[in-house]
Structure 1
């Protein structure tokens, strides 16, 4: 079976997000006030051939740990469809 894995990678909440801060400043310059915080991350879609959703999840987790996310600075969430 083919499964679609959505891997959401975001900076750890404890760390400063310079891209998010820059976007927040830009939004304020455009007159869009009331936005309290902006965090910029990545959304990665993987098409995985596997026997089950559990196996597809394990493959996606391995990909995220080894390549897609820097676990020192980022966290990831995986959704399988």
Structure 2
């Protein structure tokens, strides 16, 4: 589950960040776009935080279905 959730959150964060960047560029001309751009920026931040939490959870629970955990962790590594 975590092995699928992390990339999904990361992809959504990238999409939100790119959309927010475009809206901020257009918001320089039309100030009504700033509210939407601000919400998308917070959404990108939330997605990045959720991705980080998913990776932490995979590391703490030794979820070896996640490639990074399988390559850089072991059961003997202390918490």
TM-score of the pair, normalised by structure 2? 0.27
Whichever of the two has the greater Rg, that structure is: 2
Greater helix fraction, Structure 1 or Structure 2? 2
**Could you state the TM-score of these two structures normalised by the residue count of structure 1?**
0.26
Structure with higher RCO (Cα < 8 A, 6+ apart): 1
Higher strand proportion, which one? 1
